[in-house]
A and B are shown apart, each in its own frame.
Chain A
Amino acid sequence: EAGVAQSPRYKIIEKRQSVAFWCNPISGHATLYWYQQILGQGPKLLIQFQNNGVVDDSQLPKDRFSAERLKGVDSTLKIQPAKLEDSAVYLCASSGETGVGFFGPGTRLTVL
């Protein structure tokens, strides 16, 4: 069974630029999560989707972050414009009927 795929693995941008991350969950998993992991901290939820609907986006900085999962499969997370404090690893996870989250390898974002 293929795992959660994410791209790119690494991204370096200047502050005020925009960036997008892509996630392909495990086939058949209805729930998809985006987490932000700042260096030295545990992952923090940004947004949770159930199929193509948003379940929880209470911690998503909506003035600069957006996410979509149009067909209930792949998802894209965008930051526009980026700030220095957005430097982090962005983790995508998906879960099926068991509720157990399977994580992708993450995208490491550096904002200069």
Chain B
Amino acid sequence: AQSVTQLGSHVSVSEGALVLLRCNYSSSVPPYLFWYVQYPNQGLQLLLKYTSAATLVKGINGFEAEFKKSETSFHLTKPSAHMSDAAEYFCAVSETGRRALTFGSGTRLQVQP
């Protein structure tokens, strides 16, 4: 069975500050890991994915995530927050590239001016 834990349901940062959203996973096989972003009243948009290639994955909008097998983590970071980054962020895991995703409970990011 696979599962995802996102630490912190709400994160607030100042504009220009570092963004760090935490994700830990459990999987019985090498996982595929994803970060999605959801803006109000919209569907989920893929930010980035890890599929066993490079452990540091770069995504859209300046986000990146690092896969750390020893820590079973896949934390999402962005060096400098922008007001437009305010949204809900979901970490997800899949045991293969062709099965459905198991999502975490989400982290709502607020960006203060």
Tell me whether B45 and A44 are in contact (CB under 8 A).
Answer: no
Q: Which of these binds chain B: A12-20, A66-74, A76-84, A95-103?
A: A95-103
Check A42 against B104 for contact (C-beta < 8 Å). Answer: yes
- Size class of the contact patch on chain B: 20 to 34
State whether A41 touches B43 (Cβ < 8 A): no
**Interface hub of A42, A43, A48, A105 (most chain B Cβ within 10 A):** A42
Smallest CB separation, B54 vs chain A (Å): 16
B residues engaging A (CB < 8 A)?
A: 4, 32, 34, 36, 41-46, 49, 90, 92, 94, 96-106
- A43 to chain B: which residues have CB within 8 Å? 44, 90, 101, 103
Given known pairs A48-B99, A56-B100, A101-B101, the reply for A42 and B106 (CB within 8 Å) is: yes
B99 lies within 8 A of A56 (CB):
yes
Which 10 pairs, one residue from A and one from B, show the smallest C-beta to C-beta distance?
A42-B103, A99-B97, A103-B43, A103-B44, A45-B100, A105-B43, A48-B100, A99-B98, A42-B105, A43-B103
Residue total for A at the interface (Cβ-Cβ under 8 A): 25
Q: Does A109 contact B (CB under 8 A)?
A: no
Chain A positions within 8 Å of B, measured between CB atoms, are 4, 31, 33, 40-45, 48, 55-56, 91, 93, 95, 98-106, 108
Cα(A103)–Cα(B24), bound, Å: 23
Compute how far the CA of A44 lies from the CA of B104 in the bound complex, rounded to whole angstroms. Answer: 9
Beyond A40-B105, A42-B92, A105-B43, 17 additional pairs, beta carbon < 8 A: A4-B43, A31-B98, A40-B106, A41-B105, A41-B106, A42-B105, A43-B44, A48-B99, A91-B43, A99-B32, A101-B46, A102-B46, A103-B43, A103-B44, A103-B45, A105-B41, A106-B43
